[in-house]
């Protein structure tokens, strides 16, 4: 039988002694329970309760999620960097290095990260995987299918959306994907909720045997406030799933698992209906003009910011846990004459409430133009939607309209490659330089204006091949080292298989620069060995230092390889300047520490 086993209680958790070093030693608040009660954790608890009851900790939204995971007894966490989610793993990796556990590591991409987390869960232990919104597209295959297996140790999928596209190619809303997979989604409005919801997400994941999504947005991920932590949970035992077939998605078993997931929906909906994350701030019994306000996530902050200026109290229902609680929403709708829906991202909830047919009372929101369909919310947009006048202002004069876009650092190794490309292509009437995502995408802007596409991680190589297949010559692909290792290897295999008439330039700056200098998953030599191992003709595979002195040589090499009507791969290597700075700073600190030790 492959169906889910009984869900009556959260799995029994015991402390495995060898796991003690994995236990959080950060400040804790609250009554000792679990481990402390068993005397395993006494010293830390006693010291820290005193320290942090009043103080709490100042954390980014991302860090609050990370601390929540540590306190939930997570065994391992995985991610590929991506703004605005990067700081989740940065926190966990720092914690891992300092404390020796729980494990936390960067991965090649979001799909591999997801699958590693899934393996931890299968072994009965808690796992977290974090990514930016578009990362869930890459991990969509394991995500959708892991909703059908019987999740064992809690699996929490933290997805950080980027409304307003501060650092992204789109502003897709991950609530749709959680809904698509039929799994619960929690959406914190502040740092404390980010912490609390992450902890609850693990518990829900085990209770319903599904992955649980925690949806962040940039504004919360990258904003700091005080978080008051609670006593930590225990770490689960290592154990394989009892129902073997519940993890084997052969059609015969998968059908049963899918049915079981569908059968579980009423229970999941009941949880959302009863969740304290979905609650009336001002109740349906509220008297006053009959406006109902529905907020989700951070939109609540912008509403509460403006509330003191309203002359009446709308009936206010906030939603932080999905699936949306239908009964509570109905209760709201029955007690008011008009509804305003405030949500960050797409009009997800507004769409659901509206349904297909005309609603029986006016619903205002993004679909009616009360709020814009695109971009990020802010207190002023919400103010306008509430019908409040602008705040008083004085004329402070006009001001210069001078944009200051981001740009490559002075002396960035990428600039050498772009200068060479421009020269090498000067004589061709219609070349294509397909590119990808990273610092090097800034080569699209003046003074280089050297690249012509940036779509999704790894797309440059496949697109250059497509352009060549369409009849274009020369077709170049320009891709960063980390982007290549994330999603460029498989399209390069396609190119090798057909000896496609393209020239691929891999810009190896020995780091993931765009997101703040995380390590690439393979060192430079490993990357080069990998490319050669794919079967690229050694005569058309080259490595060159990306130094200004080498520009002439790189230009000549590019000209030769562009003239070659088959696949060529050129790796240009030189350390990113920012990474070099960080490396030297770390080396200096290590040296000072060493000296300090010797003096002692």
Partner 1 sequence: MKFDILLAGVGGQGILSIASIVANGAMHKGLFVKQSEVHGMSQRGGAVVANLRMADQPIHSDLIPAHEADMILSLELLESLRYLEFLKPSGILLTSSARVVNVPNYPPEDDLRRRVDQVPHHCLVDADALAKQAGNHLASNMVMVGAASHWLPLGLEEMEGEMAAAFSRKGEKVVQTNLKAFALGREAASWTPA
Contact residues: ligand SF4, CB under 6 A: 408-409, 412, 414, 439, 509, 513, 576-578
Instruction: For residue 292, give both structure tokens.
Output: 């109902």
114 in contact with ligand TPP (CB under 6 A): no
- Window contacting ligand TPP (CB under 6 A); options: 129-137, 142-150, 193-201, 316-324: 129-137
Order of strands across the sheet with 321-322?
103-106, 76-79, 127-132, 155-161, 212-217, 185-186, 321-322
Toward ligand SF4, which CB reaches closer, 238 or 577? 577
Residue 569 CA to chain centroid, in angstroms?
31
- Of residues 304-323, which lie at the interface with partner 1 (CB under 8 A)? 304-306
Binding-site member from 50, 94, 166, 259 for partner 1 (CB under 8 A) = 166
Toward ligand SF4, which CB reaches closer, 409 or 445? 409
∠ at Cα 76 (74, 80), nearest 5°? Answer: 125
Toward ligand SF4, which CB reaches closer, 26 or 409? 409
Pick the closest to residue 420 from 272, 569, 291, 548 (CA basis). Answer: 548
Pick the closest to residue 202 from 191, 192, 211 (CA basis). Answer: 211
Q: Where are the beta strands (DSSP E) in 492-589?
A: 503-508, 541-545, 568-573
The 10 Å Cβ neighbour count of residue 3 is: 15
Binding-site member from 30, 516, 519, 566 for partner 1 (CB under 8 A) = 516
Q: How far is the CB of 414 from ligand SF4 (least distance, A)?
A: 5
**Residue 517 · residue 543 · CB < 8 Å:** no
- Of residues 434-473, which lie at the interface with partner 1 (CB under 8 A)? 439, 442, 446
Q: How far is the CB of 413 from ligand SF4 (least distance, A)?
A: 6
Q: Total residues at the site for ligand TPP (CB under 6 A)?
A: 24
In this structure, what are the phi and psi dihedrals at residue 307, rounded to the nearest 5 degrees?
-55, -40
Binding-site member from 48, 301, 515, 568 for ligand TPP (CB under 6 A) = 515
409 in contact with partner 1 (CB under 8 A): yes
Q: How far is the CB of 424 from ligand TPP (least distance, A)?
A: 20
The 10 Å Cβ neighbour count of residue 16 is: 14
Pick the closest to residue 507 from 579, 446, 435, 598 (CA basis). Answer: 435
Instruction: Decide which of ligand SF4, ligand TPP, partner 1, none touches 481; Cβ closer than 5 to 8 Å per partner kind.
Output: ligand TPP
330 in contact with partner 1 (CB under 8 A): no
- Beta bridge mates, 316: 282, 293
Instruction: Decide which of partner 1, ligand TPP, ligand SF4, none touches 89; Cβ closer than 5 to 8 Å per partner kind.
Output: none
**Residue 225 · residue 59 · CB < 8 Å:** yes
82 in contact with ligand TPP (CB under 6 A): yes
Question: Rounded CA gap, 421 and 407, in Å?
Answer: 18
- Which residues bind to ligand TPP, rule: CB under 6 A? 80-82, 110, 132, 134-135, 138, 437-440, 457, 480-483, 509, 511-515, 576
């Amino acid at each position: 039988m492959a169906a889910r086993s009984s869900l009556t209680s959260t799995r029994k958790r015991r402390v495995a002694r060898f796991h003690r070093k994995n236990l959080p030693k950060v400040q804790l608040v609250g009554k000792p329970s679990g481990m402390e009660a068993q005397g395993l954790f006494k010293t830390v608890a006693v010291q820290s309760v005193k320290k942090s009851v009043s103080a709490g900790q100042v954390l980014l939204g991302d860090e609050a999620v990370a601390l929540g995971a540590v306190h939930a007894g997570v065994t391992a966490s995985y991610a590929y960097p991506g703004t605005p989610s990067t700081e989740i793993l940065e926190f966990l990796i720092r914690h891992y290095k300092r404390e020796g556990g729980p494990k936390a590591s960067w991965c090649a991409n979001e799909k591999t990260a997801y699958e590693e987390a899934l393996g931890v869960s299968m072994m009965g232990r808690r796992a977290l995987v974090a990514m930016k919104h578009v990362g869930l597209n890459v991990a969509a295959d394991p995500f959708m299918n892991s909703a059908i297996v019987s999740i064992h140790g809690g699996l929490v999928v933290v997805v950080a959306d980027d409304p307003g596209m501060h650092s992204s190619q789109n502003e897709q809303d991950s609530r749709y994907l959680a809904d698509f997979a039929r799994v619960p989604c929690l959406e914190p409005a502040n740092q404390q909720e980010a912490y609390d919801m992450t902890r609850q997400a693990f518990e829900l994941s085990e209770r319903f045997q599904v992955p649980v999504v925690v949806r962040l947005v940039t504004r919360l991920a990258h904003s700091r406030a005080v978080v008051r932590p609670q006593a930590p949970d225990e770490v689960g035992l290592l154990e394989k799933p009892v129902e073997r077939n519940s993890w084997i998605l052969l059609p015969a078993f998968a059908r049963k698992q899918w049915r079981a997931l569908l059968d579980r929906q009423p229970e999941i909906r009941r949880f959302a209906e009863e969740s304290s994350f979905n609650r009336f701030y001002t109740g349906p019994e509220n008297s006053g003009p009959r406006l109902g306000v529905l907020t989700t996530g951070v939109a609540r902050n912008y509403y509460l910011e403006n509330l003191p200026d309203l002359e009446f109290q709308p009936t206010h229902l906030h939603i932080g846990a999905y699936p949306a609680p239908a009964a509570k929403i109905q209760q709201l709708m029955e007690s008011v004459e008009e509804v305003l829906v405030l949500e960050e991202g797409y009009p997800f909830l507004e769409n659901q409430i509206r349904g297909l047919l005309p609603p029986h009372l006016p619903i205002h929101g993004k679909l009616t133009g009360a709020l814009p369909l695109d971009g990020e919310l802010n207190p002023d947009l919400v103010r306008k939607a509430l019908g409040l006048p602008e705040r008083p202002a004085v004329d402070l004069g006009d001001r210069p309209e001078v944009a200051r876009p981001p740009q490559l650092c002075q002396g960035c190794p990428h600039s050498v490659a772009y200068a060479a490309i421009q020269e090498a292509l000067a004589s061709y009437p219609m070349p294509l330089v397909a590119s990808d995502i990273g610092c090097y995408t800034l080569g699209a802007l003046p003074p280089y204006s050297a690249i012509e596409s940036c779509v999704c991680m790894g797309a440059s190589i496949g697109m250059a091949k497509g352009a060549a297949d369409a009849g274009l010559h020369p077709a170049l692909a320009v891709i960063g080292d980390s982007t290549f290792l994330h999603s460029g290897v498989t399209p390069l295999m396609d190119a090798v298989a057909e000896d496609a008439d393209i020239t691929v330039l891999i810009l190896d700056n020995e780091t993931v620069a765009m997101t703040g200098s995380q390590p690439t998953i393979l060192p430079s030599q490993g990357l080069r060995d990998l490319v050669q191992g794919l079967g690229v003709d050694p005569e058309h595979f080259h490595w060159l230092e990306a130094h200004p002195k080498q520009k002439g040589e790189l230009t000549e090499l590019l000209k030769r390889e562009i003239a070659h009507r088959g696949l060529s791969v050129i790796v240009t290597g030189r350390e990113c300047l920012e990474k070099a700075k960080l490396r030297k700073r770390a080396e200096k600190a290590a040296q000072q520490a060493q000296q300090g030790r010797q003096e002692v």
